[in-house]
Structure 1
Amino acid sequence: MAFPQTAADTQGPRRRLARGLAVLLPLGLSLASPALGETSAPAPVPAASSPAPSPAAAEALDQSLSPECRVPGSKLYTLARLKAVKAALKEKRPIHVLAIGSSSAGLGASASYPVKLENALEQALPDVQVEVEARGLPGEVASGAGERLRSMVAEMEPDLVVWQVGTNDALARVDIEAFGEALDESVQWVKSHGIDIVLIDPVFTESLADDAYYTQMVRTVQEVARREAVPLVHRYAAMRFLSTQRTTEAHMLGRHFRLNDLGLRCMAEHATRAITLSLLQPEAAKVDTKTEAGPPAKSDPPDAARGTSEGAPTAAGK
């Protein structure tokens, strides 16, 4: 379903990415450029007092994003394969996306988030119909969303779930171990039903940058995403980086830790970037078990995106 587009949504670089994807995806090819074909290693959750890198040492910004949303790739995503979405593309059928998390709750500026995500995905995947439905609830924590997932999946039968997770749990001071278990269980359940899932970690705010509990919540989402080999949008790191480019974080964050209109647009672009690049991840090499002697050797999860050779996701979102 297409929606009216703003001037900021129609950047030339995004069209060039779309044309590249249109050619590469049907052929099952991946891009050789580090900016497109390789996974960026996730940055650790930094302290607010960490100095910004010098311009000479700074990583190049991702030029496919709108100028006000540009961050280095290492602060933007960890990639993993999206089998269900790729199958929908090959079958030339609409891609159904379920968005959950409190910024998908449809209140105030967040009411525009499904539209922004839908438009961004359709621009990046030309000639593909994308249908995004948001089912977030204000203040919902991971355990509650996980319980609702069963009925939502049965009703919608989505190809992809995009989950902003962790911010509400952190604000409610949910036990971190219980949070991690609930998130892990829900991700496993979604994957077991042949559905892809992308996690978006918590928002960044200066007021909580030195809070050990909050940053541990971000790391917990990292660990779940890495363990379950699912793509992760590093919202915390991206927002922190963008806040250093301006005098205040208020340009993206509104009241009560909720993203404003620009913050939602950047999040939609960042999620789309992680999704489209994950679609270019190569298939795992098949092992000939007939000629293997003895039990197979243990290895890291094959779906995990790696930067040069390995990458770990960063975090949790609303």
Structure 2
Amino acid sequence: MPILARPSAASLLALLAFGTVAVASGLPARAQSGPARLALAQPEAAPAAPVTRAAAIPRRALARLPRLASLIQQGSAIRIVAFGSSSTEGSGASSAATTYPAQLQRDLAARLSLMGAAPTAVTVLNRGRGGDDSEAMARRLEGDVLADKPDLVIWQTGSNDPMSGVSVERFTELTRAGILAMRAAGADVVLMDQQWCRKLTTTEGSERYGVALHAVATELNVPVIRRNAMMRAWAAQGLLSPTQMIGPDGLHMTDAGYDRLARAATAQLLTSAGLAQDAATQN
């Protein structure tokens, strides 16, 4: 089935301004030629990571990523855009190679190879910009994301809005509009929620943005990399202490935090694409 035509820049800007568009919540994957490389597992309801705060965030089955699933099955190249703020750009990392997008590219390619999907090529483009809130990301969505024609967008958002004064209502509107614009352009979408850190836990009302993100994700059937809950779980399990995950500024992740985040993101992408993972590819 053909993918919907990419909308014009003008229509995308109108969408972002008003937050409304009649687009289905999921699009069919791009048709690919060649033999199937991997058998897709039947969808199963997977439990979400435990949440110790913000009980309003629902537990739900992981949504599927049809385009990613098709590309993996056909052994075709995969282009991912990591879109977000400083957590995506890599503030706190010791080098560009230790940011989460760089580590995700390596980890996802390695796991696909172990699962017999070679010669799939994985490219992860880092489109993070420190300090961006949802307003700033909406302004650069066309040039920094859609222009790259991604197969998948991982959108990390909601960390700066409570500190920059963007209202929860406006954050919700822009998040919904951005997801619809990405899907209208033919990309699968995954959201990433806030980091668990001192700076955000001491910012009044910050948890409301996490709840809002998950509400939009449920509405549009978008998978979420539940970073906040995962970081709490890592600490509770003794895998990483808070100071090992977050640097001295109380906000940005460390190399160790980005490493574990990339591995968790890889595992979720594969599961959301409907691929059963054996023991060799599990975290």
Query: Under a length normalisation based on structure 2, what TM-score does the superposition of the two structures give?
Result: 0.72
Q: Are 2:249 and 1:266 aligned? A: no
Pairwise CA RMSD: 2.7
SS in 2 for 1:96: strand
- Alignment partner, residue 186 of structure 1: 178
The correspondence of residues 201-280 of structure 1 with structure 2, limited to 5 A, is 201-206=193-198, 208-209=200-201, 213-246=205-238, 248-254=241-247, 255-280=249-274
Distance 1:146 1:226, change over 3 A: same
Answer yes or no: is 1:105 the counterpart of 2:89: yes
SS at match of 1:79: coil
Kindly provide the CA deviation profile for residues 86-120 of structure 1, in whole angstroms up to 9, marking residues without a partner as x: 22223322100101112222555162222201011
Counterpart in the other structure of 1:132 = 124
Shift of 1:44: 4.7
Q: How does 1:20-169 map to 2 (within 5 A)?
A: 26-30=38-42, 37-41=44-48, 43-44=50-51, 46=53, 79-101=62-84, 102-109=86-93, 111=96, 112-113=98-99, 114-126=101-113, 127=118, 128-169=120-161
Change (3 A) 1:248 1:265: closer
CA distance in 1 between counterparts of 2:82 and 2:199 reads: 27
Contact 2:198-2:251 within 8 A present in 1 as well:
no
> What is the number of equivalent residue pairs in this alignment?
227
Mapped partners of 2:79, 2:149: distance in 1: 8
Look up the match of 1:306.
none
Bigger RCO of structures 1 and 2 (CA < 8 A, at least 6 apart): 1
More displaced 10-residue stretch of structure 1: 203-212 or 92-101: 203-212
**Structure 1 residues 80 and 160: alpha-carbon distance in aligned structure 2, compared to 1, 3 A threshold:** same
Q: Which amino acid aligns with 1:249?
A: P
Deviations 1:149-193 (A, max 9, x none): 212344311101111111111222321111111111101111112
Instruction: Give unmatched runs, 5+ long, in structure 1.
Output: 1-23, 32-36, 48-73, 283-318
* 8 Å CA contact 1:78, 1:274 repeated in 2: no
5+ residue gaps, structure 2, are 1-35, 277-283
Distance 1:84 1:78, change over 3 A: same
Give aligned-pair identity as a percent.
28
Cα displacement (A) at 1:248: 4.4
Whole-angstrom distance in 2 between the partners of 1:258 and 1:78: 29
